[in-house]
A and B are shown apart, each in its own frame.
Chain A
Amino acid sequence: MLAFILRRLGQAMLVIGAMVVIVFFGVNVIGDPVYMLISPEMDQNAVEATKVALGLDKPIWEQFIYFVTGAVQGDLGRSFVHGEPAIKLILSRMPATMELALVALLMAVVIGLPLGVYAGLKPESRLAKAIMAISILGFSLPTFWVGLMLIMFFSVMLGWLPATGRGDVVRVLGIETSLLSWQGWTFIALPALNLALLKISLVIRLARAGTREAALMDYVKFARAKGLAQSRIVGVHIMKNIMIPIVTVLGLEFGSLVAFSVVTETIFAWPGMGKLLLEAIQRLDRPVIVAYVMVVVVLFVVINLVVDVLYSILDPRVRLTEAKA
Chain B
Amino acid sequence: MTTSLRQLALAAATTFALIGATGAQELKVGLSAEPSSIDPHYHNLSPNNMLSEHVFEGLVNQDKMQALEPGLAESWKAIDDTTWEFKLRRGVKFFDGSDFTADDVIATFKRLPAVPRSPSSFAPFIAGLTTEKVDSHTVRIKTAAPAPLVPTNLSTFGIVSKACAETMSTEDFNALKCQGGTGPFRYTEFKPGDRVVMERNNTYWGRKPDWEKVSFRFLTAAPTRVAAMLAGDVDVIEGVPPSDMARLKANANLSVVEELSNRVIYFHMDHFRETSPFITAKDGSPIKNPLRDVRVRQALSMAINRPAIVERIMEGAAVPAEQVLPASFFGTSKTLKPTAFDLAGARKLLADAGYPNGFKLKMHGPNGRYTNDTKIIEAVAQMFTRLGIDTELETIPPANFFTRASQGANGEPEFSFILVGWGAGTGETSGSLLALLGTVDRAKGSGGANRGRYSNKVFDDKLAEALRTVDDARRAVLLAEVSEIGMKDVGIIPSHYQTNVWASKKGIKVTARADEYTLAMGISR
What residues make up the interface of A, taking CB atoms closer than 8 Å to B? Answer: 30-33, 35-47, 49-50, 53-54, 78, 80-84, 89, 92-93, 96, 142, 144-145, 148-149, 151-152, 155-157, 159, 162-166, 266-269, 271-272, 275-276, 279, 281-284
Contacting A at CB under 8 A, from B205-222, are 217-221
User: Closest CB of chain A to B46's CB: distance in Å?
Assistant: 8
Question: 22 A-B Cβ contacts within 8 A?
Answer: A35-B399, A35-B403, A35-B406, A36-B399, A39-B120, A40-B435, A42-B448, A43-B124, A44-B442, A82-B37, A84-B174, A92-B192, A148-B6, A151-B231, A152-B12, A152-B227, A156-B227, A157-B13, A166-B194, A267-B224, A269-B194, A283-B399
- Contact check, A93 vs B193: say whether CB atoms are below 8 A apart: yes
Taking a contact as CB atoms closer than 8 A, the residue among A33, A53, A84, A92 that contacts B118 in the complex is A53
Once bound together, how far apart are the Cα atoms of A148 and B3, in whole Å?
11
User: Closest CB of chain A to B27's CB: distance in Å?
Assistant: 15
Question: Does B34 lie at the interface of the complex (its beta carbon under 8 Å from any beta carbon of A)?
Answer: yes
| Per-residue contact bits, chain B 13-25, to A (CB 8 Å; 1 contact, 0 not) | 1001001000000
CB-CB nearest 5 A-B residue pairs: A43-B448, A271-B194, A37-B119, A31-B403, A271-B193
Once bound together, how far apart are the Cα atoms of A36 and B401, in whole Å?
10
Known contacts A43-B448, A82-B36: does B12 contact A157 (CB below 8 Å)? yes
- Contact check, B36 vs A81: say whether CB atoms are below 8 A apart: yes
- Contact check, A165 vs B121: say whether CB atoms are below 8 A apart: no
Interface centre among B191, B227, B435 (most CB of A within 10 A): B227
Question: Does B379 lie at the interface of the complex (its beta carbon under 8 Å from any beta carbon of A)?
Answer: no
- Contact check, A80 vs B119: say whether CB atoms are below 8 A apart: yes
A31 cross-chain contacts in B, Cβ below 8 A? 399-404
- Contact check, A156 vs B230: say whether CB atoms are below 8 A apart: yes
User: Closest CB of chain A to B231's CB: distance in Å?
Assistant: 4
Interface centre among A78, A148, A282 (most CB of B within 10 A): A148
A281 cross-chain contacts in B, Cβ below 8 A? 399
Once bound together, how far apart are the Cα atoms of A268 and B192, in whole Å?
15
Taking a contact as CB atoms closer than 8 A, the residue among B2, B12, B120 that contacts A144 in the complex is B2
Once bound together, how far apart are the Cα atoms of A80 and B116, in whole Å?
11
Considering the complex, give the chain A residue whose CB is closest to the CB of B440: A44
- Contact check, A269 vs B221: say whether CB atoms are below 8 A apart: yes
B16 cross-chain contacts in A, Cβ below 8 A? 156-157
- Contact check, B19 vs A162: say whether CB atoms are below 8 A apart: no
Known contacts A42-B448, A159-B19: does B37 contact A268 (CB below 8 Å)? no
- Contact check, B399 vs A30: say whether CB atoms are below 8 A apart: yes
- Contact check, A148 vs B402: say whether CB atoms are below 8 A apart: no
User: Closest CB of chain B to A47's CB: distance in Å?
Assistant: 8
* Interface size class of chain B, counting residues whose CB lies under 8 Å from the partner chain: 35 or more
Interface centre among A36, A53, A82, A93 (most CB of B within 10 A): A82
- Contact check, B233 vs A163: say whether CB atoms are below 8 A apart: yes
Once bound together, how far apart are the Cα atoms of A37 and B117, in whole Å?
11
Contacting A at CB under 8 A, from B226-260, are 227-228, 230-233
Once bound together, how far apart are the Cα atoms of A164 and B234, in whole Å?
10
- Contact check, A83 vs B12: say whether CB atoms are below 8 A apart: no
Question: Does B44 lie at the interface of the complex (its beta carbon under 8 Å from any beta carbon of A)?
Answer: yes
Taking a contact as CB atoms closer than 8 A, the residue among A36, A45, A159 that contacts B232 in the complex is A159
B403 cross-chain contacts in A, Cβ below 8 A? 31-32, 35
Once bound together, how far apart are the Cα atoms of A31 and B400, in whole Å?
5
User: Closest CB of chain B to A80's CB: distance in Å?
Assistant: 6
Once bound together, how far apart are the Cα atoms of A151 and B231, in whole Å?
8
Question: Does B45 lie at the interface of the complex (its beta carbon under 8 Å from any beta carbon of A)?
Answer: yes
Considering the complex, give the chain A residue whose CB is closest to the CB of B193: A271
- Contact check, B425 vs A36: say whether CB atoms are below 8 A apart: no
Question: Does B329 lie at the interface of the complex (its beta carbon under 8 Å from any beta carbon of A)?
Answer: no
- Contact check, A267 vs B221: say whether CB atoms are below 8 A apart: yes
B422 cross-chain contacts in A, Cβ below 8 A? 40
- Contact check, B227 vs A41: say whether CB atoms are below 8 A apart: no
Question: Does B471 lie at the interface of the complex (its beta carbon under 8 Å from any beta carbon of A)?
Answer: no
- Contact check, A83 vs B193: say whether CB atoms are below 8 A apart: no
Considering the complex, give the chain A residue whose CB is closest to the CB of B13: A156
B449 cross-chain contacts in A, Cβ below 8 A? 40-41
- Contact check, A41 vs B442: say whether CB atoms are below 8 A apart: no
Question: Does B473 lie at the interface of the complex (its beta carbon under 8 Å from any beta carbon of A)?
Answer: no
Taking a contact as CB atoms closer than 8 A, the residue among B120, B124, B218 that contacts A37 in the complex is B120
Taking a contact as CB atoms closer than 8 A, the residue among A36, A43, A92, A284 that contacts B435 in the complex is A43
- Contact check, A44 vs B448: say whether CB atoms are below 8 A apart: yes
B2 cross-chain contacts in A, Cβ below 8 A? 142, 144-145, 148
Taking a contact as CB atoms closer than 8 A, the residue among A35, A54, A142 that contacts B117 in the complex is A54
Once bound together, how far apart are the Cα atoms of A44 and B411, in whole Å?
12
Once bound together, how far apart are the Cα atoms of A164 and B400, in whole Å?
31
User: Closest CB of chain A to B61's CB: distance in Å?
Assistant: 19
B406 cross-chain contacts in A, Cβ below 8 A? 35
Taking a contact as CB atoms closer than 8 A, the residue among B45, B217, B232, B397 that contacts A269 in the complex is B217
Known contacts A151-B231, A163-B231: does B217 contact A145 (CB below 8 Å)? no
Question: Does B42 lie at the interface of the complex (its beta carbon under 8 Å from any beta carbon of A)?
Answer: yes
Considering the complex, give the chain A residue whose CB is closest to the CB of B404: A31
User: Closest CB of chain B to A99's CB: distance in Å?
Assistant: 14
Question: Does B9 lie at the interface of the complex (its beta carbon under 8 Å from any beta carbon of A)?
Answer: yes
Question: Does B407 lie at the interface of the complex (its beta carbon under 8 Å from any beta carbon of A)?
Answer: yes
- Contact check, A269 vs B223: say whether CB atoms are below 8 A apart: no
User: Closest CB of chain B to A186's CB: distance in Å?
Assistant: 12
Known contacts A156-B230, A164-B217: does B224 contact A41 (CB below 8 Å)? no
Taking a contact as CB atoms closer than 8 A, the residue among B5, B119, B218, B407 that contacts A148 in the complex is B5
Considering the complex, give the chain B residue whose CB is closest to the CB of A54: B117
Once bound together, how far apart are the Cα atoms of A17 and B453, in whole Å?
43
B34 cross-chain contacts in A, Cβ below 8 A? 279
Known contacts A41-B435, A43-B448: does B398 contact A282 (CB below 8 Å)? yes
A50 cross-chain contacts in B, Cβ below 8 A? 118-121
B351 cross-chain contacts in A, Cβ below 8 A? none
Contacting A at CB under 8 A, from B385-403, are 397-403
Question: Does B382 lie at the interface of the complex (its beta carbon under 8 Å from any beta carbon of A)?
Answer: no
| Per-residue contact bits, chain B 421-439, to A (CB 8 Å; 1 contact, 0 not) | 0111110000100010000
Taking a contact as CB atoms closer than 8 A, the residue among B5, B193, B425 that contacts A39 in the complex is B425
User: Closest CB of chain B to A70's CB: distance in Å?
Assistant: 14
A44 cross-chain contacts in B, Cβ below 8 A? 440, 442, 445, 448
Question: Does B170 lie at the interface of the complex (its beta carbon under 8 Å from any beta carbon of A)?
Answer: yes
A32 cross-chain contacts in B, Cβ below 8 A? 403, 407
B469 cross-chain contacts in A, Cβ below 8 A? none
Given A41-B449, A151-B224, A165-B228: 20 more A-B contacts, CB < 8 Å: A30-B397, A31-B403, A38-B119, A43-B447, A45-B442, A53-B118, A83-B42, A83-B116, A89-B192, A93-B192, A93-B193, A148-B9, A152-B10, A155-B227, A156-B13, A159-B231, A163-B224, A267-B224, A282-B397, A283-B399
